[in-house]
Amino acid sequence: MWRVILNPYSNRWRARERWPQAEQALRQAGLTFEVVVSEYKRHILTLAEQAVADGVEGIIVAGGDGSIGEAVNGIVRALGSVEALPPIGILPLGSANDFASNIGLPLDLFEAAQVIARGQVARFDLCQCNERYFVNNSAIGLEPYVTIKHERIQWIKGQMRYVVAALWAIAEGPNWKARLEWDGGTFEGPVTLLSVGNGPRTGGVFYMTPHADPRDGRLTFVFAYRPSRLAMLQTMPATMKSGAGNYTELPGVHEYHASYIKISLNRPSPAHTDGELFEHWLQTLEYRIHPGRLSVYCAS
C-alpha cells in the first residue's frame, strides 16, 4: 500500500481544499493508499521517516517544494544515507510547484497520479546545504528576505505574493560581505544575494539560476551585488526571464557551476532550502551535490 503524506497548509491551505480532487485522481489511477496529514512545522520529516520504517510500498508527497524537501530529509534520516533512496511520487499541491515544473511533471492532479501509477522512475541530483538536503533551490541574502516577507503577506494569494514580497525586501536594501570558495574559483567582496539551484525556476516566476540542470551533477549558483535599491529594482524584471536577457547578463551578477561551495559572511543572513527557512540565521554555509541520488516517479 502506498502512503500519501499530505501537507494541508501548502498554498495557504488550498492543498486541503484540493485534497478531494487529489484523492479522486489517485483512485482513478488504480492506486491503493493511506493518508497521513502533517499537523505542524517539520512534521513531514517525522512522517516520511516513519513511512520508511513501516516499509510502505511507496511514498507520495502531496504538497509543494517545501513538502518534497522535508520528505526527502525524513527519508535520508531514516536510512542514514543518500546511497539508495526509494523513489517518491509527487502530487503538486503547492503555490509554485517549481520542482515539479523543472523536472517536467504534469501539474494536473489526474495526470500526475497516472505518472505515479505507471511506475516509471527518473533520477535527479540531490543537493545539500550544511546538514539539510534540498531538491530545487536554496539561498542566502535577498532571496530568503523575500521568503520572510512572503510568509507575512496574508492579503494576496498566488504567485503575485512572491512579486510583492520581492519588492518589499528590495526596499530594505540588505547586503553582506562574503568570501566564497568553489572548485574552480574564489570571490571576496560585497553580495546582495546568493542563490543555489538544482533547477532554473523558483517562486513560480523567478529564474534565479537560469542555467541549472537537475541532471548534470553540478550545483549552479549565482551571486550578485547591486549597489542601490534602484539597481536591485531594475534587476527584478530580468530575474523573470529564463533565456536571453536574464539577470545573469547584468553587471555585478555572476553564475557558476560547481560540485561544492563554501560561504563565509561578515554577519548572519537568513537562509532557506526549498522555501523553508532555517530556524537561525547563518554565517557559514557549505553546499555539495549528490549526483543522481534523487529518484522520482516521472514521465521522462
Domains and CATH numbers, the chain: 2-119 (3.40.50.10330), 137-291 (2.60.200.40)
Q: What is the pLDDT, as a whole number, of residue 104?
A: 95
Q: What is the pLDDT, as a whole number, of residue 157?
A: 64
Q: Where are the alpha helices (DSSP H) in 55-96?
A: 65-79
Q: What is the pLDDT, as a whole number, of residue 170?
A: 78
Record the pTM.
0.92
User: Mean pLDDT, to the nearest integer, of 61-77?
Assistant: 97
User: Mean pLDDT, to the nearest integer, of 138-147?
Assistant: 87
Cβ contact 87:54 at 8 Å: no
User: Mean pLDDT, to the nearest integer, of 59-77?
Assistant: 97
Out of 162-171, 248-257, 275-284, least confident range: 162-171
Q: What is the pLDDT, as a whole number, of residue 154?
A: 66
Out of 114-123, 146-155, 276-285, least confident range: 146-155
Q: What is the pLDDT, as a whole number, of residue 174?
A: 80
Please list the helix, strand and coil fractions of the chain in percent, rounded to the nearest 5, in that order: 30, 35, 35
Number of H-type helices and E-type strands within the chain: 8, 16
In the block, which residue shows the cell 497520479?
113
Point out which residues pair with 273 in neighbouring strands. 138, 276
Alpha carbon of 121 to those of 1, 105, 145: distances in Å? 18, 12, 35
Q: What is the pLDDT, as a whole number, of residue 171?
A: 78
Cβ contact 95:65 at 8 Å: no
